[in-house]
Chains A and B, each alone.
Chain A
Amino acid sequence: MSKRSSVAKSKTVVFVMGLWFFAFTLAWGAQATTICDDVGREVEIPFPCERIISLSPSNTEIVFALSLAEKLVGVTTYCNYPEEAREKEKVGTLNEINLEKVVELEPDLVLASSLTPPEVVGRLEGLGITVFVLDPHSIDEVIGDVEKVGIISGAEDKGQELKEAMEQKIEDIKSKVSHLSPEERPTVFHLIWHEPLWTAGKDTFINEFITLAGGQNVVADLSGYITVDLEEFVRRNPDIITVVENPGEGGDLSYQFLLSDGRLRMIKAIQDHKVFPVDGDIVSRSGPRVVEALYMYACIIHPEIFGEYEYQK
Chain B
Amino acid sequence: MSIKNKKRLIYPGLLILVLGSIFLAQGFGGGRYQISDSLSLFSSSTLSPSERIILFEIRLPRVILSFLVGGSLSLGGAALQGVFQNPLVDPYVLGISSGAALGAVIAILSGVYLGFFTIPLFAFSMALFSAFLVFHLGKVGKKFPLEVLLLAGIGVGFFFSALVSLGMFLAGEDLHQLIFWTMGGFWNSSWREVKMVLPFLIVGLPVLVSFSRELNAFLLGEKVAESLGVEVEKVKKWLLLVVSLLVASAVAVSGVIGFVGLVVPHLVRLLGIRDHRHLLPFSFLLGGGVLLWADTLARTILNPVELPVGIITNLLGVPFFIYLLQKRKKNP
Asked if A and B touch directly (CB within 8 angstroms), the answer is: yes
* A residues neighboring B (CB under 8 Å): 78, 93-94, 193-198, 219, 222, 226-232, 234-235, 237, 246, 248-251, 253, 256-257, 260-263, 265-266, 280
Given A93-B172, A196-B188, A249-B112, A222 contacting B50 (CB threshold 8 A): no
| Pair B54/A235 contact, Cβ less than 8 Å | yes
Inter-chain CA distance A231–B32, complex, in Å, is 13
Inter-chain CA distance A257–B176, complex, in Å, is 17
Inter-chain CA distance A78–B57, complex, in Å, is 39
- A219 to nearest B CB, angstroms? 8
Q: Who on chain B is nearest to A260 by CB?
A: B116
Given A195-B177, A231-B29, A266 contacting B59 (CB threshold 8 A): no
Q: Which residues of A contact B190 (CB under 8 A)?
A: 261, 263
| Pair B176/A198 contact, Cβ less than 8 Å | yes
| Pair A195/B53 contact, Cβ less than 8 Å | no
Q: Who on chain B is nearest to A93 by CB?
A: B172
| Pair A78/B50 contact, Cβ less than 8 Å | no
Q: Which residues of B contact A246 (CB under 8 A)?
A: 173
18 other A-B residue contacts (CB within 8 Å) besides A229-B299, A229-B304, A257-B116: A228-B304, A228-B306, A230-B187, A231-B29, A232-B303, A232-B304, A235-B30, A237-B50, A249-B110, A250-B111, A250-B112, A250-B113, A251-B111, A261-B188, A263-B53, A263-B58, A266-B49, A280-B173
Given A195-B188, A232-B303, A263-B190, A248 contacting B111 (CB threshold 8 A): yes
Query: Could you name 27 residue pairs across A and B whose Cβ atoms are closer than 8 Å?
Result: A78-B173, A193-B176, A196-B180, A198-B176, A222-B304, A227-B187, A227-B306, A229-B29, A229-B303, A229-B304, A229-B305, A229-B306, A230-B187, A231-B29, A234-B54, A235-B54, A249-B113, A250-B108, A250-B111, A250-B112, A251-B111, A257-B116, A263-B53, A263-B57, A263-B58, A265-B53, A266-B49
Chain B stretch 184-199: residues in CB contact (< 8 A) with chain A: 185, 187-188, 190
| Pair B187/A235 contact, Cβ less than 8 Å | no
Q: Which residues of B contact A251 (CB under 8 A)?
A: 111
Given A196-B188, A234-B58, A249 contacting B111 (CB threshold 8 A): yes
| Pair A231/B173 contact, Cβ less than 8 Å | no
Q: Which residues of B contact A198 (CB under 8 A)?
A: 176
Inter-chain CA distance A219–B305, complex, in Å, is 11
Inter-chain CA distance A66–B164, complex, in Å, is 41
With beta carbons under 8 angstroms apart, the residue of A94, A197, A232, A262 that contacts B30 is A232
Q: Which residues of A contact B306 (CB under 8 A)?
A: 196, 227-229
Inter-chain CA distance A235–B58, complex, in Å, is 11
Chain B stretch 110-154: residues in CB contact (< 8 A) with chain A: 110-113, 116
Inter-chain CA distance A48–B306, complex, in Å, is 50
Inter-chain CA distance A261–B192, complex, in Å, is 11
Which of A198, A231, A257, A260 is the most central at the interface, judged by chain B CB atoms within 10 Å of its CB? A231
Q: Who on chain B is nearest to A219 by CB?
A: B304
- B205 to nearest A CB, angstroms? 28
Which of A196, A219, A248, A260 is the most central at the interface, judged by chain B CB atoms within 10 Å of its CB? A196
Q: Which residues of A contact B30 (CB under 8 A)?
A: 231-232, 235
| Pair B188/A266 contact, Cβ less than 8 Å | no
Given A196-B306, A230-B188, A266 contacting B53 (CB threshold 8 A): yes
Inter-chain CA distance A214–B162, complex, in Å, is 48
Inter-chain CA distance A232–B303, complex, in Å, is 9
| Pair A78/B53 contact, Cβ less than 8 Å | no
Inter-chain CA distance A260–B180, complex, in Å, is 22
- A206 to nearest B CB, angstroms? 16
Q: Which residues of B contact A253 (CB under 8 A)?
A: 113
Q: Which residues of A contact B113 (CB under 8 A)?
A: 249-250, 253, 256
Inter-chain CA distance A126–B113, complex, in Å, is 47
Inter-chain CA distance A305–B81, complex, in Å, is 67
Inter-chain CA distance A94–B172, complex, in Å, is 9
Q: Which residues of A contact B176 (CB under 8 A)?
A: 193, 198
- B179 to nearest A CB, angstroms? 11
- B48 to nearest A CB, angstroms? 8
Inter-chain CA distance A11–B278, complex, in Å, is 113
Inter-chain CA distance A263–B49, complex, in Å, is 10
| Pair A197/B50 contact, Cβ less than 8 Å | no
Inter-chain CA distance A219–B187, complex, in Å, is 18
Q: Which residues of B contact A222 (CB under 8 A)?
A: 304-305
- B310 to nearest A CB, angstroms? 12
- B282 to nearest A CB, angstroms? 31
| Pair B188/A234 contact, Cβ less than 8 Å | no
Q: Who on chain A is nearest to B55 by CB?
A: A231
Q: Which residues of B contact A227 (CB under 8 A)?
A: 180, 187, 305-306
Inter-chain CA distance A93–B111, complex, in Å, is 21
Q: Who on chain B is nearest to A224 by CB?
A: B305
- A99 to nearest B CB, angstroms? 18
Q: Who on chain A is nearest to B307 by CB?
A: A227
